[in-house]
Structure 1
Amino acid sequence: MTVALPREKVRTRLSDAASGLLYLSPSIILFGVFLVYPLLRTIYLSFFRTDTQGTPLEFVGVGHYSTLFTSAAFWQSIQATVGFVLLTVPLTILIALGLALLANEKLKGIGIFRTAFSATMGMSVAASSVIWMFMYNPSIGIFNRFLEAVGASGVQWLLDPQYALLSVSLATVWMNIGFTFLILLGGLQNIDRTLYESADIAGTSYWTQLRAITIPMLSPTLFFVGIISLINAFQTFGQIDLLTKGGPTNATNVIVYAIYKDAFINYNVGSASAQAVLLFIAVLLLTWLQFKLVERKVHYQ
């Protein structure tokens, strides 16, 4: 049996809801204009053949999607994207975790190392890419100089399809370490110190404490950086544009750069929109799988 609410309570709830919407309206408007509308517009354009300005000309249905799934270039960009993600995400998290564990130690002057480890966060993608471009230079780059010093021949790091994706991935790992390091260091410093004091009294080793205390207590932070790193890897564009421009022979032509080339170089906005929709679905599914499969292993305090 339902009991009707007094009119005054109904009015109060409606008034509270209206007030809440009023306060949220700036965020809702910005969210709608810069996220929801572009997403809906992209989905809409993926079903049309467009002119060079992106104006719909002819409805083609799933024609763009059918063309993509039968395109060797599209599958090559998928392969490059998967390889790039697998190279950058685990390596970034592992290196940042190791640096965070070192920086979390109570040592004299450790603040200097914390600043150094997080320094890449303050550098732009353009500046970082230029630095790595010089380091990869076949004539004056430090990597080839080192190879020559040990008697090996130089490598065309950014021009050889065998090394190009690896080279861009290493540069990306370096660029992303600063942010990941700071997040993990913050997570380490929030772990209750009494747990380590109890473990020291029990005589447990450092590695046992790392396995039984640090990693479980840090799992929410690791889960967060895993999701953020995965999404960022799929969205990587700047360093690829500056270092390789998707080459050589499309070895580094990840899906985001393929979308850019189709939309702004080839002026095929419909195909670019279809690729963007597929990328959105892929990232959405991978994020959902992470929450579904990985979050159950996260130890929340």
Structure 2
Amino acid sequence: MNAPLSVKSSPSVPVRRKRAVWTTLEGIVYLLPSLILFSIFLFYPMLKTVYLSFYATDHQGNPVQFVGIENFVYLLKDVNFLQSIKATLLFVCYTVPASVVLALCLALMANEKLKGIGLFRTFFSSTMGMSVAASSVIWMFMYNPSIGVINKVLSLFGISDVQWLLDPKIALISVSISTIWMNIGFTFLILLGGLQNIDPTLYESARIAGVSYWYQLRKVTLPLLSPTLFFVTTVSLIHSFQTFGQIDILTKGGPMDATNVIVYSIYKDAFINYNFGSASAQAVLLFFAILVVTFLQFKFGERKVHYQ
């Protein structure tokens, strides 16, 4: 006669709840260092900025009088702030598409199986290892109207000296060119990694079928690279809205506020004019602008992304 099989009884509901609580607490303990750092350096400054945007402040940044949305109303009527919005939007339009397209072209070239191509990959990604300050100083000397190498080259073709950083009509374009050069290394490296993750058998099948390189690019490479393109476009867009270092070193917002982007306007209001209430209001508006742009990009741009 066979012995009866023993059946393990499942843990009771209170025991399962107790285990779930302990598991949650254990996870919180592991996350606690990160939560503390985020709270100190991200959440608290963000909440303090929103709080100060509703107040008039003294020179030390202490709230003096509650003014409600008066700071925001004043900014939307301020000519200087509207000029900052225009400069920021133009800067984004100048830098983001050019950076992504140029980095894509360089990545396509560097992805070819050619002898010595590793040297070119190093050259193309070298700007990633340079700080914004060092890069800006290099471009400041290159743009110098008297000793700059750019004007020296133009003089060989009979073109007179150009005031790259002193002419309001071209100052923003000049800063944008230097920014494209600074950002292209990171974008190139990410896109090259995306290209190298594409299954090479797809290209072999395309070559056997006798399709052209441009057909492969449109039907194979770009669709499979679309998640990486979407990522670098989103990151570049957010980063361009927050540009500060090269503006401060090259033009300091001038000439005639032609390069006074919103982030630099926030810096001037807070640390030069000591108007922390207005600066906080500008920061809040910039945050919501980036949030809306990023949402729209995910809403409409992600539809053309092929994840498989």
Q: Tell me how many residue pairs correspond in the alignment.
A: 298
What SS does the corresponding residue of 1:252 show, helix, strand or coil?
coil
For normalisation by structure 2, the TM-score amounts to 0.96
The correspondence of residues 1-301 of structure 1 with structure 2, limited to 5 A, is 6-301=13-308
Partner of 2:107: helix, strand, or coil?
A: helix
In structure 2, what residue type is equivalent to 1:25? L
> What are the Cα deviations for residues 246-270 of structure 1, in whole angstroms up to 9, with x where unaligned?
0000000000000000000000000
SS state at 1:57 partner:
strand
| Cα distance in 2, alignment partners of residues 216 and 263 from structure 1 | 45
Amino acid at match of 1:104: N
The superposition leaves residues 79-107 of structure 1 with CA deviations (integer Å, 9 ceiling, x where unpaired) of 00000000000000000000000000000
Higher mean C-alpha deviation, range 290-299 or range 254-263: 290-299
Instruction: Give, in angstroms, the shift of residue 42 of structure 1.
Output: 0.1
Instruction: Tell me by how many angstroms 1:31 deviates.
Output: 1.1
Q: Distance in 1 between matches of 2:196 and 2:157?
A: 42
Q: CA deviation at 1:183?
A: 0.2
Deviation of 1:12 (Å): 0.9
Deviation at 1:176, TM superposition (A): 0.3
- Cα distance in 2, alignment partners of residues 69 and 239 from structure 1: 26
Query: C-alpha separation between the residues in 2 aligned to 1:15 and 1:279?
Result: 41
TM-score scaled by length of structure 1? 0.98
Give, in whole Å, the separation in 2 of the partners of 1:39 and 1:221: 30
Q: What is the CA–CA distance in structure 1 between the aligned matches of 2:93 and 2:130, rounded to whole Å?
A: 24
**Deviation by residue 1:241-296 (Cα, 9 ceiling, x = unmatched):** 00000000000000000000000000000000000000000001111111111111
Cα-to-partner distance string for 1:98-140 (whole Å, 9 max, x where unaligned): 0000000000011100000000000111111111011101011
Larger Rg: 2
Distance 1:30 1:167 in 2: 37
The separation in 2 between residues aligned to 1:226 and 1:127, in whole angstroms, is 25
1:153 to partner: Cα distance: 1.5
For each residue in 1:202-253, what CA deviation from the matched residue of structure 2 results, as whole angstroms up to 9, or x when unmatched?
A: 0000000000000000000000001100010011100000000000000000
Query: Could you list the per-position Cα deviations for residues 21-76 of structure 1 after superposition, in whole angstroms to 9, with x for gaps in the alignment?
Result: 11111111111111111110000000000001100000000110010011000000
Aligned-partner SS, 2:49: helix
RMSD: 1.0
Q: What do the CA deviations read for 1:163-187 (whole angstroms, capped 9, x no partner)?
A: 1000000000000000000000000
Which amino acid in structure 1 is aligned with residue 99 of structure 2? T
Query: What amino acid is aligned across from residue 207 of structure 2 in structure 1?
Result: D
Instruction: After the TM superposition, list the runs of 4 or more consecutive aligned residues in structure 1 that deviate by more than 3 angstroms.
Output: none
